[in-house]
């Protein structure tokens, strides 16, 4: 009878107890994933890599969010990709629709104009709802709001390094609020008036500006103009209370009232990055060098020989930390 293979449950428990990630140390955290039914296959590929490099040892839950209901087919195939708990949630209509003050006729004209100028996602209405949701509402969702941290994952992303530590526990222990792997400049045509509104926020709410903030990372002229640097938020490990804080929400509401999510095409990445850089202590923002990560054409691949042994990525492909000196 000792030839009997262990049940998946036993296997999972034994792996959980092996590494440093035993359940007593597990953080109140989860992967949070905004995704569409049609992205199932790319989603499972990303999960498979996340499981094999990290989560099979830790068993952190997955939370899937969608503006539409997930199909049974999607749910079945997602659940077959992990032993960890999985939850599926729908986004409330008021977090994925036009606020009353938006002139939708004007918004449609802006989209047409941006389409003609070939601004990335300039023509897309759904992309704008997505960016507004990620900017202001993800941390209010019923399934997310009580977490301490979440790790954002997208379909099709790749994780290339074996992790022998728990990034959530690292964030918690070091009292970090925001973790990233890639930083790069935003397309200027998507944010013509974003910085003017940020300057209005800084004047209106000096109490929200941290005394050890990172303004000098966002601006080379002491706040006069934005240098377009942002963390690439398709990867982020973030404190949920930070996204719920008054400082964060005051910025989001001011920006939402200004209408730029719809009249321009403000992304959640610059919004998140500006909020983090202005309202957090710079020591609360962390670059996760150990996490090899690729989204589309950009990749972070750690260069140190020791880390290379744990990674399957080409350091020549490294995009590095553009914008960070």
* Of residues 184 and 202, the one with the C-beta less far from ligand GDP: 184
By CB under 6 A, residue 181 contacts ligand GDP: no
The minimum distance between CB 101 and ligand GDP, in angstroms, equals 22
> Quick one: what does residue 148 bind among Mn ion, ligand GDP, none, with the CB cut-off 5 to 8 Å set by partner type?
none
Half-sphere exposure of 312 (CA within 13 A, CB side): 7
By CB under 6 A, residue 122 contacts ligand GDP: no
Please tell me the distance from the alpha carbon of residue 41 to that of residue 23, in angstroms, as a whole number. Answer: 30
Please tell me the distance from the alpha carbon of residue 149 to that of residue 29, in angstroms, as a whole number. Answer: 5
User: Could you tell me if 272 and 278 are in contact, meaning their C-beta atoms sit under 8 angstroms apart?
Assistant: no
> Quick one: what does residue 67 bind among Mn ion, ligand GDP, none, with the CB cut-off 5 to 8 Å set by partner type?
ligand GDP
Q: H or E element: which one contains 119?
A: none
The minimum distance between CB 266 and Mn ion, in angstroms, equals 16
Among 12, 16, 48, 67, binds ligand GDP (CB under 6 A): 67
By CB under 6 A, residue 104 contacts ligand GDP: no
**What Rg, from alpha-carbon coordinates, does the chain have?**
20
Chain residues that interact with Mn ion, rule: CB under 5 A:
154, 234
* 224 in active site: no
* Of residues 20 and 126, the one with the C-beta less far from ligand GDP: 126
| Residues 6+ positions from 147 with CB-CB distance below 8 Å | 28, 29, 30, 32, 240
* Of residues 44 and 205, the one with the C-beta less far from ligand GDP: 44
Tell me the helices (H) and strands (E) count for the chain, helix number first: 13, 12
By CB under 6 A, residue 214 contacts ligand GDP: no
Which position among 236, 284, 290, 299 bears the catalytic label?
A: 236
Q: Determine the longest span between alpha carbons in the chain, in angstroms.
A: 73
> Which are the catalytic amino acids?
236
């Amino acid at each position: 009878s000792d030839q009997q293979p262990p049940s998946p449950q036993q296997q999972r428990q034994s792996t959980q107890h092996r590494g440093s990630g035993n359940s007593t140390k597990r953080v109140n955290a989860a992967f949070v994933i905004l995704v569409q039914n049609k992205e199932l296959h790319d989603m499972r590929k990303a999960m498979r890599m996340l499981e094999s490099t990290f989560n099979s040892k830790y068993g952190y839950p997955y939370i899937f969010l969608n503006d539409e209901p997930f199909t049974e087919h999607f749910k079945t195939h997602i659940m077959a990709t992990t032993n960890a708990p999985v939850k599926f949630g729908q986004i409330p209509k008021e977090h994925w629709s036009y606020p009353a003050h938006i002139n939708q006729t004007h918004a449609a004209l802006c989209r047409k104009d941006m389409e003609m100028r070939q601004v990335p996602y300039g023509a897309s209405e759904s992309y704008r709802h997505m960016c507004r949701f990620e900017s202001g509402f993800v941390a209010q969702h019923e399934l997310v709001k009580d977490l301490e941290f979440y790790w954002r994952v997208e379909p099709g992303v790749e994780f290339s390094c074996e992790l022998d530590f728990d990034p959530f526990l690292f964030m918690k222990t070091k009292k970090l609020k925001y973790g990233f792997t890639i930083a790069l400049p935003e397309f200027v045509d998507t944010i013509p008036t974003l910085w003017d509104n940020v300057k209005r926020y800084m004047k209106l709410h000096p109490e929200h500006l941290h005394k050890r903030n990172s303004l000098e990372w966002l601006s080379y002229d002491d706040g006069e103009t934005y240098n377009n640097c942002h963390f690439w938020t398709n990867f982020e490990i973030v404190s949920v209370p930070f996204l719920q804080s008054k400082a964060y929400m005051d910025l989001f509401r001011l920006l939402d009232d200004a209408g730029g999510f719809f009249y321009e095409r403000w992304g959640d990445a610059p919004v998140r990055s500006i909020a983090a850089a202005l309202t957090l202590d710079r020591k609360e923002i962390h670059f996760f060098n150990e996490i090899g990560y690729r989204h589309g054409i950009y990749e972070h691949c750690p260069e140190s020989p020791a880390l290379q042994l744990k990674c399957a990525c080409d350091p020549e492909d490294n995009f590095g930390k553009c914008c960070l000196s």
